Every structure is written in structure tokens, then in C-alpha cells.
Structure 1
């Protein structure tokens, strides 16, 4: 009896299929995906594939970029899988780039194609590419040791840290597209010679891109959205020029909506600085004069950006979300906020403290 059972088990094992596991040398790791507007079909999808190499040197990263046009993201990726000799593995994908041209038209559709896929982790960095997403993927900076590692270091704050670089993730952008009171935004990647230039941000409503910030506005947006403190502030009055490095930055705000015809957002900004550049002696001067100059100019810059966003009916900072969180009437509060926001008046109080004049007088 036992012998018969053993024979049956052996026979069943012979007809049992494997688990589908593929060795690492039979996989192509996709590190970045780019989506452009297709010439003949809806999309041109490009993927950046890592080619393993024993030598890891700056400017010597090995990769392959393959592209395919299709009417859907899934169709393009499935077709690309048939054009390479290894299985596409997206478990290491850390970057999704959408061309700025496509960003003006079909961002919700593109995101839908990624959010539903099981092999996309949704923690990928998301950005707009100019002139195209494919061109960004094909760029190989001289300092890059691994394929697309430059972008990972930039957006992950592991390498450079700059107020002009604003990081956005796939999951957060999609969440902003759906929820009330907080609109989405994306950084813009440009190619400058053989390196990346990232110092602007585009802001979206729930359907399309509505405004693009300059580099100066992007730095202010970074302060408001993420309280980025690694910044330098330039100020001037007449022939006086100053540059201040920020040691500490914070702000808070509250709503004053008792009068629905004149609602207000009262914002208090606190900045502690050290002078890093000046064409005037500072050590034995009255610093309060400089502090007043800086406070006024910061207030004017903040007011300009906030009024521009209000005029375009977008709220990437999340004032509306805070309003809903501090009120308890659900959809009624949202309808009320939509009437309040176009009328809101920003009262900004900036308090700048100069702690020192740097290494010299």
C-alpha cells in the first residue's frame, strides 16, 4: 500500500508545473519609465533597462532605452516585453516621467494606467520631462555611476538638497487628484547640455496643468509646501545688496471666516538668518533696518505667489484641506470653501531675525 502511494506521489510530481520563478540573469530591471505623446497612437512608452556591469565608474553606466507606441500604457508595456530577450521586472522602478506636452492633456489617463498595475509600487518619483520623457531617459550625465541614479539622488534628497527641487510621488499626486482641498503639482526636468536642470514646478487642477512657476516662485512654493529651510534669501534696497542664509524657518496660519464676504487667512512666518553676502558693512550697524527690508520683500513675494494661485483656482498648499479638517460638516464645508477661496484675503506677518554677519564683519 505504501509503495503504491509513493509511486502515485512521484508520478504527480512529474506533472506538477513550476512556480514561474526566473533567475536574476533572465530578468531586465526597469529603473525608469517615460511616457510621451505618440505620433500614430495615443502614447509612446519608453523604458530604461539596466545592463549589469562589473565596473562602476562615473559616466560609465550601462543601460538600454526601448520604446513602443500604443493606445494604452498596458498595451505598450506588454509589447515591449516581447521585444527583449529577458523578462521585464518593474520591482526596481523608481521614476516615472511624463512629457510636458502630454502633461497638458492626459495626466489622469496616464496615471490610471500605472495605478492599477500590480507590478507598480506607487512610490515612484513623478515628474514632467522637457523636451520629452524619452530624451530624459536617454541622457547620461558624466557623474552618473548607475543608470538613472542621478535622478534618484536628486529627488530622494540623498545627494543635492535645493529649494528649487520639489519631490513628488506617484501615490501622492494621484491622491491630490482625487481629494478635496489639495491640488497636485509636478517638478519639471530639463536637459542642459549633458545634465539635468530641475528648478521649476507645474501646478494642476483636478484635470489639467494650469500654471508653471518660475525658479524664484518654485523656491517660495517649496518653503510653503514642505517648509524647506535650506534656502538663501536675497534682498536689496537702492544700491544695497544682501544675501541671507536661513538657519531656521517655520510658519503657521489660521482662518478668519466669520464674515463670509471678507474671509482671511492669517499667516505668521518666522525666519532666523545669517548674512552670507553684503556690499555694505554690517557688524556695527543697526540690523533692524536690514530685517525690515527683508521682511517686506519676503511678504511681497509670498503675496504675489498666493494671489496667483488663487486667481488660477488652485490650492497645492492645502488651505482647503486644513479648512475641511477644522470643520465638521463634510460636503457642506467643501461647498462653503469653494465660495470662500476666491474671496480670501491673505494677511502675512513676516518676522526675520538676523543672528550674525557671517565669518567677517
Structure 2
């Protein structure tokens, strides 16, 4: 019995010593929640551009004067900047709680992959970290406190989560951006934000050609983009039918999209995007009587015509800027053999293919009040 106890003690003591050596005290850790990246052009021609990286670190000290600590470093690489950031704080910086990465517009125009690649390779960083574009300087947006909102990092994260559920911006993570970047049949997109006085607002959807920012969809047209991009079961859309003096507010939208590819010869393609919409009317201003079935059909046709026009205009804009943000190339690729697709220069053909948008709208209900 004595020998058995002695053997157990011999085994337990070394294990406890090893465990103590691997301890991490929470109060001594700096959990990076949000990171911003900006391009600083070189002052001297021929020299490499500098990268400005800032981080926002929540503080758990209840006696502290601030709820977060912000750090900034300027370097040629993100990893070198991380070392410089570490020298400015008594905390040990860790990336396991990173929630969002903000990229300034000037950096996005040059290309993001070099910086996203660093994040993707880091085993401590989750692939679910959000990718967000800032219309302006990401550092300035992150450093500012927006009272009475929560601390800036949490404020932006909650804003994107809420707007993503409402279909006004796509939910884009490191995984999704990287997946679309390396897929030869689609280009990446990302939500865009900007600072307006004491608020951060959604500024639309950024469209990329490979990893370079090209153009954007305005915030007032973002739900039209969601209708084109895929299916969803929740959303609100405000429509002004100016030619008819009518205004409609649709809620609880259910959108379904089907794409058909047609080929009429060598490298000759056309695409039909068939969209089915169902929604409830929360507000209507106009001369029609929604309790009348014929008037409801007229309104449904007017809504369909409006959305059909807007979707066609949006597709034309994407083709003009050579950004396949809807993944139409994937649909054509799936209709071809591997050798046919590899011999096809999709980027050259994409701007010239005919895309037809067909929309059918159904009003599910028009509120509690009837007359």
C-alpha cells in the first residue's frame, strides 16, 4: 500500500509542475478583438509602402478609466507590426478572441490577399473572423469612441450581425472571402462601413475583382443585391414607384432564386435569373385599394417591374466593372466539361454574356386593417 502511494506521488508531482509552467493569467493577457489595416504611401519614390495596423483590446479591470486599450504600429509587414505593438503594452497580446478585421479603402484598392493570407495561416485565429471594408481610414474609425454605443469593436460587430440577419449586408468571414477568391467562378464581396459624426453606418457592399476593390453597391440597393445573390427568408424593402406616385414597404420577404444557363455555340452563353418574391405589406401610399384583388395584382406587377429593372441595372454594372459577384461563372462551369472550362477565358467572356432577370412577386398579406 505504501509503495502504491509513493508511485502515485512520483507521477503526480511532475505533472503538476508541467501544468503550472503552462499557466496563463487572464489579467495579464491582451485579447485582441478588432484589428484595422491601412496603407501609408511611401514619402520617397521607389520605397516600399508602409502598413499601419491598429488593435482594440477590451480591458477587464473594473477600476480602469477606459473600457479598452488601443495600440498602433507602422511597419512593412503585419507580423513585424505585431512585435512592435507588443512592446507598447504590459499585456501579452493574443489573437484567439479576434472578431473582426477592418481594411481601409486605399489598401483594398491595392489588394487584400497578402494581409488575409497572414491571418489565414495563423492557427490562433478563427476562420470565422469577419472581413469588413472601411470607406475611408480604418484606423481613424477604430480609434474613435462612439458614445453612447458600446466600445467600438463590439459596436461594429453587433451592427454587422444585425444587418446581416436583415440581408442588408453579406456575412463574410476569412473562410468565405478566401474560398471565393480562389474559386475561378466567383469574385469576393465584403460589407462596407464608414463613420458619420458619432455613429458607424453601413455604407453598402464592396465588390472585388480577385482581391482588389473595384466598386460598391450603395446601401439603398443592398437588398436588391441579396435577392440576386441567393435565397433568404427575412428582409425588408422600401420601394418608391415615382412614375405612379406610390410608395410600398415590404416586410417578411422570402426570396428564391433559380439560374438557368443556355449555350448557343462556342463561347456563346446566356443566363436567366428567375426570382420569386413573397412578402407582407407594412405600408402603402397610393390610389390602389389593397382589399381589391385586381388592385393587388396591379401592385404585384408594379413591384415585379421595379425589382426586375433594378436587378438588370445591377448586373449590367457588375459586368461593366468585370466583377462576377453573383457567381455566374460557377453556373456556366457546372454546365461544361473540365477541359471546356479550362479553355474558356471567363473574365473576357463575362462582360458580354446576356443576362435576363425575371421577377415574380406575391403579396402574402396586407396588414390587419381592411376597407
Question: Deviation of residue 17 (structure 1)?
Answer: 10
| Residue 45 of structure 2: aligned partner | none
Q: Aligned to 1:182, which of 180, 186, 199?
A: 186
| Residue 256 of structure 1: aligned partner | 262
TM score, norm. by length of structure 2: 0.84
**Higher deviation after alignment, 25-34 or 258-267:** 258-267
Distance 2:328 2:153 in 1: 35
Distance 1:310 1:331 in 2: 22
Report Cα offsets for 1:232-262 as digits up to 9, x if no partner: 1414153421213143221111100133465
Aligned length: 355
| Residue 34 of structure 1: aligned partner | 36
Report Cα offsets for 1:271-315 as digits up to 9, x if no partner: 123332223242344222222211111111000001111122111
Distance 1:334 1:242 in 2: 49
Given that residues 183 and 205 in structure 1 are in contact (C-alpha distance below 8 angstroms), is that contact kept between their aligned partners in structure 2?
yes
Given that residues 97 and 126 in structure 1 are in contact (C-alpha distance below 8 angstroms), is that contact kept between their aligned partners in structure 2?
yes
Given that residues 244 and 273 in structure 1 are in contact (C-alpha distance below 8 angstroms), is that contact kept between their aligned partners in structure 2?
no
**Higher deviation after alignment, 80-89 or 320-329:** 320-329
Given that residues 262 and 345 in structure 1 are in contact (C-alpha distance below 8 angstroms), is that contact kept between their aligned partners in structure 2?
no
Distance 1:304 1:224 in 2: 12
| Residue 227 of structure 1: aligned partner | 231
| Residue 94 of structure 1: aligned partner | 99
**Higher deviation after alignment, 140-149 or 105-114:** 140-149
TM score, norm. by length of structure 1: 0.87
| Residue 80 of structure 2: aligned partner | 75
Distance 2:224 2:82 in 1: 38
Question: Deviation of residue 75 (structure 1)?
Answer: 0.2
**Higher deviation after alignment, 226-235 or 64-73:** 226-235
| Residue 273 of structure 2: aligned partner | 267
**Aligned-residue CA RMSD in angstroms?**
3.2
| Residue 350 of structure 2: aligned partner | 341
Assess, with a 3 A threshold, how the Cα gap between structure 1 residues 89 and 334 changes in structure 2: closer, same or farther. Answer: farther
Distance 2:214 2:357 in 1: 25
SS at match of 2:149: coil
Q: Map of 1:72-151 to 2, 5 A cutoff? A: 72-145=77-150, 148-151=153-156
Q: Aligned to 1:48, which of 42, 48, 56?
A: 56
Question: Deviation of residue 115 (structure 1)?
Answer: 2.0
**Higher deviation after alignment, 338-347 or 326-335:** 326-335
Assess, with a 3 A threshold, how the Cα gap between structure 1 residues 10 and 198 changes in structure 2: closer, same or farther. Answer: closer
Assess, with a 3 A threshold, how the Cα gap between structure 1 residues 39 and 339 changes in structure 2: closer, same or farther. Answer: closer
**Higher deviation after alignment, 211-220 or 343-352:** 211-220
Report Cα offsets for 1:151-174 as digits up to 9, x if no partner: 2222234x8843333321112112
- List gaps (5 residues or longer) in structure 1: none
Question: Deviation of residue 223 (structure 1)?
Answer: 2.2
Q: Map of 1:262-341 to 2, 5 A cutoff? A: 262-275=268-281, 276-285=283-292, 286-330=295-339, 332-333=341-342, 335=344, 337-338=346-347, 340-341=349-350
Given that residues 135 and 203 in structure 2 are in contact (C-alpha distance below 8 angstroms), is that contact kept between their aligned partners in structure 1?
no
Relative to its length, the structure with more helix (as a share) is 2
Assess, with a 3 A threshold, how the Cα gap between structure 1 residues 295 and 239 changes in structure 2: closer, same or farther. Answer: closer
Given that residues 263 and 343 in structure 1 are in contact (C-alpha distance below 8 angstroms), is that contact kept between their aligned partners in structure 2?
no
| Residue 21 of structure 1: aligned partner | 23
Distance 1:52 1:141 in 2: 19
Question: Deviation of residue 195 (structure 1)?
Answer: 1.4
**Higher deviation after alignment, 206-215 or 310-319:** 206-215
Given that residues 131 and 172 in structure 2 are in contact (C-alpha distance below 8 angstroms), is that contact kept between their aligned partners in structure 1?
yes
Q: Map of 1:166-245 to 2, 5 A cutoff? A: 166-228=170-232, 229-245=234-250
Question: Deviation of residue 322 (structure 1)?
Answer: 2.6
